Structure 1
Amino acid sequence: MAASGWITVVRRRLRPRAAAAVAPASPDDPAATTTGPRPASAPGGKIHELRAGGGLRATAGHLAARARPHRVFLLLLAVGAALRAVAMLGYRPALWFPDSYTYVVTAMRPRPDLVRPAGYSMFLRLLEPFHGFMVVTAVQHLIGLAVGVLLYVTVLRAGGPRWAAALATVPALLDAYQIQLEHLLVSDSLFALLVLGGVVAASRPPTWRSACAAGLLLAAATLTRTAGLPLIGLVTCWLLARAWTSRRGARRRPVVLAGLALVVALVPVGAYAGWFAATYHRFGIVGSNGVFLYSRTMAFADCAVMRPPADLAVLCDPTPPARRPPSQEYIWSATSPVVALPGITFTESTDRLAGRFASLAIRSQPFDYAASVLGEVARTFVWGRPVYPDREIYGYYQFPAESPPPPGRYPATVGAEFAARYERGPIGTRLVEPFAGVMRAYQDVARLPGTVLLLVMLAPPVVVAVRRRRGGRTGTAWTLPWLGSLALLAIPAATAQFDYRYVLPAVPLACLAAALVARGGEPRRGRPAGSANFE
């Protein structure tokens, strides 16, 4: 064979080996997992790096494609996070409310409090190893963002449109008063997330997991604020109603799950009540229900109409109801008849006496009581934000223009000492410009007016009524969140008085109800299998 022929044969035999040496290893090639990565200097190393870079770009492109449909919500979430960062930079480490000091005392010296359950104090206790109230406010701001995320995901999983899901998150993410409330050392932000989570869990298709989650979350909400206790009954009734509307042969399981949710909720609440009884020798989760209800009835109570017995007559106020101060003054003011009684205000005997007076007032003047409650609820829906109940309390809900002074009342001064131990340093609020000024300016323009909240509350029943009149199908997904928001607005007005910070935990539920009614009667096509149908 000629020399040229031998050369041709050799080239043909060597060509596949050379190609294999240059070609990068396939991810499915077993040899690729045993020989290890090829050094960059080896033949094909540059090609391997290029393929790796291409993989990162492909992953980034995939994530961008997944996020693109949610770009409006992601923008709202980013703006909300930025505003909260500005608040943390402007007001360090936190803003204080009169209740804050009591919460800190209970956190540092765990025992049930007579006025407030200890759930929020235990939250503070969990964060105590960090020795910084700035950590507390950071977590509370994350809670505020989590409320927005939970709203958005819940609406989408229920088949709602993205525009409605994003719109429902706007008050939770961007309302300046919501951000300011998260910066206050009070229980309302934590309470709002727990209530929202419990309602969402109860709205999911009934399983033992969803029933247990709803019960535990609402129990935690109750031990954070007593306004959560009626919601346990509301959710139980909702689950039983769903059982009633089920097919006759399929009712047993929903009834069992409703009982499971109730038991899971009442076990921790009952355990806390046992702790309270061991401490104060009376059963309950607080020891002030009678005094607070007494203060509520003093807005209308007329002893000439009530004709109380002698032991209750000491709690009468001769001042005409129209000239009396806001209800809360009958709890804390030294001139209040109940405060003037011997001993502390929240002794068992005083609380029972005040409760009896309140019960008599409601039975004697039921229409006056109803009108007073409706009047307090109506304060929620005014367009402006008038000063109420007084200038001092109203001022706590504003980003201040100067550092607040230290507390002056005795219980708060004791709490301030415990707070300094918690912080391991001074606890005064330090203002840092221009960040503080940015938040003050933002609070002047960015809030949810009460009248808009009223429209949000009216939207679900009105839309459902219109659809039914036209013969269209309507779902029931909106019902439980709507009832929950209504309860959160009515409970304080019926048992204490209206307060601006009591409104904010009800807003996410109202927005959720309005967003869920936007989806119509049928789930959106293409919803992932197993997602919640809320029916």
Structure 2
Amino acid sequence: MAWAREDLPGWARRHRWFLGVLGLGTLLRLVTVLGYRPALWFPDSYTYVVTAMRPRPDLVRPAGYSMFLRLFEAFHSFGLVVTVQHLLGLLTGVMVYVTVLRRGGRAWAAVLACVPVLLDAYQIELEHLLVSDSLFTFLLVAAVCLAMRRPLTARASAALGLLLAAATLTRTIGLPLIAVFALFLLAYGMRRAGAAAESTAEAMAESKGTVRPGRVVAAIVLPFLVTALVPVAAYAGWFYAAHQRFGIIGSNGVFLYARTMSFADCAVMDPPADLAVLCDPRPPAARPVSQEYIWDAASPLVRLPGITFTKETDTLAGRFASLAIRSQPLEYLRTTLTELGRSFTPGRPVYPDADTYGYYRFPATVPPPPGRYPALVGKEFARRYEQGSLTVRIAEPLAGWMRGYQRVAWLPGAALLAVLLVPPAAWAARRMTAARREPGTPAPGGWLLGWTTAWALLLVPAATAQFDYRYTLPAVPLACLAAALAVTQSATHAARRAATQTATRAAAPVSEGRHEGA
């Protein structure tokens, strides 16, 4: 203990810049908690509360976040829930910082990597909303950081699978990421098997044994697949028991239909009669944003009998979307790239509409009560959860400080694109240098998993739903982590090359002298 007390000042000096950023991020979150009580609401919040209070798989959203809400139901405080979400945001920044340092990164790069998640005003506001994104971001960043630990054991691989399963049951975008992580683990296992075979070749030859690469790979990949897929399969079984449908949600066809209405032209598609009822005669430029085709009463889909997410309606919508994509693949690609490009706009234009955009800003006045029927039902469950008033209490001047801070402290989309371009640029520069001066081609370093995951988080919503500002925020810490690791790897490579050249020059006179003496 005496050693720990003596070393604490030195530790604090070494990490003073990070501690300063972390302290500022903590202060901003404290001001938010005191300025907006008990929490801020989003239209999805009420559905989450209904599932938390009446556990049953929802047709639109998986129940992971609802079970997170249920963990704190006994405290009857949404204020406690968002406080925990703020703590998860702080822990996300800590994980990014620690991972960069553990991978040999420079302290300045580690600090810069965690600044957006700790200090971005929109990130802090999202943590104060009763939505799943903060929990999902924490789980996914934890999974990426765990995957970067070395050596990666079977136990760590199993824990990685549990994190991905929890993330998938929090937001369905986690499902394709299971495949991304599985490929990463497969590549890691093959490299590890190759290294083990090479290092033990002589010993194994003497004992007439052989190295079995398949066993080494299986020890890494199989625990991940089991712990990732079994919980998802169990949830799918629960979903089937509740709705007699396979899957973890029942709205994939509806959302993809809404996505394709940004370009679908029935004159080109020539749909059969049962699909023609979903056509919109207006030209794409005159149509509303995609989400209106899910919720607006004037939508061809919403006008069909029954609720929007019945099995029959979702199947019909999925068939229409599939036909639209097959008939107009280039238009689908163009609109997907357009939606993806909205993630990188220099400013922050209003999109998809003023109401949705407004939910991501700290309000100056008390938000109005919900208007949609599902939200009205959810409001009654929320009152049971809180056992008190749900009206947002805005405390000035604290709330005003956060509104002013939000006007200046956020990561522009163009800056996010620049961060995402850093890893491939650093790798390309290192590869060119290695090609000129050293044999062999360097492989991408530890940044590749975080970088790929960040791009997947941006691309999948653009391809299957539409762009939304809240969808970009989970990609930010992963993009920053990848950039910090890529810069670190390039700097380390340059330092090693310089050291090698210096050692070579220093040894040259000695070699020449020995040659002359001989």
TM-score, length-scaled by structure 1:
0.86
Does 2:17 match 1:66? no
Where do 5+ consecutive residues of structure 1 fail to align? Answer: 1-54, 526-535
Pairing partner for 1:438 from 401, 405, 414: 401
User: Counterpart amino acid of 1:510?
Assistant: A
| Corresponding residue for residue 136 of structure 2 | 191
| Corresponding residue for residue 51 of structure 1 | none
| Corresponding residue for residue 182 of structure 2 | 236
Pairing partner for 1:454 from 398, 410, 417: 417
Pairing partner for 1:85 from 18, 27, 30: 30
Shift of residue 209 of structure 1?
1.4
Does 2:130 match 1:213? no
Pairing partner for 1:502 from 460, 465, 471: 471
Alignment of 1:341-420 (within 5 A): 341-420=304-383
Does 2:487 match 1:518? yes
Shift of residue 449 of structure 1?
0.5
User: Counterpart amino acid of 2:16?
Assistant: R
Shift of residue 332 of structure 1?
0.3
Does 2:484 match 1:491? no
Whole-Å separation in 2 of the counterparts to 1:202 and 1:275? 29
Whole-Å separation in 1 of the counterparts to 2:337 and 2:60? 25
Asked if the contact 2:51–2:57 (Cα under 8 Å) also holds between the matched residues in 1, the reply is yes
User: Counterpart amino acid of 1:506?
Assistant: A
Whole-Å separation in 1 of the counterparts to 2:298 and 2:447? 46
Does 2:213 match 1:251? yes
SS class of match (1:110): coil
Assess, with a 3 A threshold, how the Cα gap between structure 1 residues 59 and 211 changes in structure 2: closer, same or farther: closer
| Corresponding residue for residue 276 of structure 2 | 313
Pairing partner for 1:223 from 160, 165, 169: 169
Asked if the contact 1:474–1:520 (Cα under 8 Å) also holds between the matched residues in 2, the reply is no
User: Counterpart amino acid of 1:206?
Assistant: L
Asked if the contact 1:91–1:430 (Cα under 8 Å) also holds between the matched residues in 2, the reply is yes
Q: What per-residue deviation string (whole Å, max 9, x for no partner) do you get for residues 54-85 of structure 1?
A: x87x7544211122110000000000000000
Does 2:237 match 1:277? no
Whole-Å separation in 2 of the counterparts to 1:413 and 1:523? 59
SS class of match (2:224): helix
Asked if the contact 1:160–1:524 (Cα under 8 Å) also holds between the matched residues in 2, the reply is no
Whole-Å separation in 1 of the counterparts to 2:236 and 2:34? 40
Asked if the contact 2:96–2:145 (Cα under 8 Å) also holds between the matched residues in 1, the reply is no
SS class of match (1:519): helix
Does 2:123 match 1:162? no
Assess, with a 3 A threshold, how the Cα gap between structure 1 residues 101 and 523 changes in structure 2: closer, same or farther: farther
Identity %: 64
User: Counterpart amino acid of 2:451?
Assistant: W
| Corresponding residue for residue 117 of structure 1 | 62
Asked if the contact 2:259–2:465 (Cα under 8 Å) also holds between the matched residues in 1, the reply is yes
Does 2:122 match 1:177? yes
Asked if the contact 1:90–1:435 (Cα under 8 Å) also holds between the matched residues in 2, the reply is yes
Shift of residue 503 of structure 1?
0.4
User: Counterpart amino acid of 1:391?
Assistant: A
Asked if the contact 1:239–1:255 (Cα under 8 Å) also holds between the matched residues in 2, the reply is no
Shift of residue 524 of structure 1?
12
Shift of residue 250 of structure 1?
6.0
Pairing partner for 2:90 from 133, 137, 145: 145
Asked if the contact 1:158–1:523 (Cα under 8 Å) also holds between the matched residues in 2, the reply is no
Asked if the contact 2:155–2:223 (Cα under 8 Å) also holds between the matched residues in 1, the reply is no
User: Counterpart amino acid of 2:120?
Assistant: D
Whole-Å separation in 1 of the counterparts to 2:245 and 2:83? 37
SS class of match (2:489): coil
Shift of residue 474 of structure 1?
5.5
Asked if the contact 2:260–2:321 (Cα under 8 Å) also holds between the matched residues in 1, the reply is yes
Asked if the contact 1:475–1:520 (Cα under 8 Å) also holds between the matched residues in 2, the reply is no
**Between 252-261 and 387-396, the greater mean CA deviation after superposition:** 252-261
Asked if the contact 1:206–1:254 (Cα under 8 Å) also holds between the matched residues in 2, the reply is no
Shift of residue 518 of structure 1?
1.7
Pick the structure with greater CA Rg: 1
Does 2:262 match 1:299? yes
Shift of residue 241 of structure 1?
2.2
Asked if the contact 1:159–1:523 (Cα under 8 Å) also holds between the matched residues in 2, the reply is no
Whole-Å separation in 2 of the counterparts to 1:274 and 1:68? 53
Where do 5+ consecutive residues of structure 2 fail to align? Answer: 198-210, 496-518
Whole-Å separation in 1 of the counterparts to 2:305 and 2:368? 31
Q: What per-residue deviation string (whole Å, max 9, x for no partner) do you get for residues 304-345 of structure 1?
A: 111111111111110101111100000000011111110000
User: Counterpart amino acid of 1:237?
Assistant: L
Does 2:436 match 1:480? no
Whole-Å separation in 2 of the counterparts to 1:364 and 1:296? 15
Pairing partner for 2:431 from 465, 468, 478: 468
SS class of match (2:488): coil
Q: What per-residue deviation string (whole Å, max 9, x for no partner) do you get for residues 76-121 of structure 1?
A: 0000000000000100000000000000000000100000000000
Whole-Å separation in 2 of the counterparts to 1:311 and 1:452? 46
Whole-Å separation in 2 of the counterparts to 1:110 and 1:337? 31
Asked if the contact 1:76–1:170 (Cα under 8 Å) also holds between the matched residues in 2, the reply is yes
| Corresponding residue for residue 100 of structure 1 | 45
TM-score, length-scaled by structure 2:
0.89
Asked if the contact 2:49–2:69 (Cα under 8 Å) also holds between the matched residues in 1, the reply is yes
Whole-Å separation in 2 of the counterparts to 1:165 and 1:366? 42
Whole-Å separation in 2 of the counterparts to 1:232 and 1:259? 13
Shift of residue 434 of structure 1?
0.6
Assess, with a 3 A threshold, how the Cα gap between structure 1 residues 293 and 398 changes in structure 2: closer, same or farther: same
Equivalenced residues, count: 470
Whole-Å separation in 1 of the counterparts to 2:433 and 2:84? 47
User: Counterpart amino acid of 1:425?
Assistant: G
Shift of residue 398 of structure 1?
0.3
Shift of residue 475 of structure 1?
4.7
**Between 249-258 and 450-459, the greater mean CA deviation after superposition:** 249-258
SS class of match (1:469): helix
Shift of residue 136 of structure 1?
0.3
Asked if the contact 1:159–1:524 (Cα under 8 Å) also holds between the matched residues in 2, the reply is no
Whole-Å separation in 2 of the counterparts to 1:241 and 1:460? 19
Shift of residue 237 of structure 1?
1.1
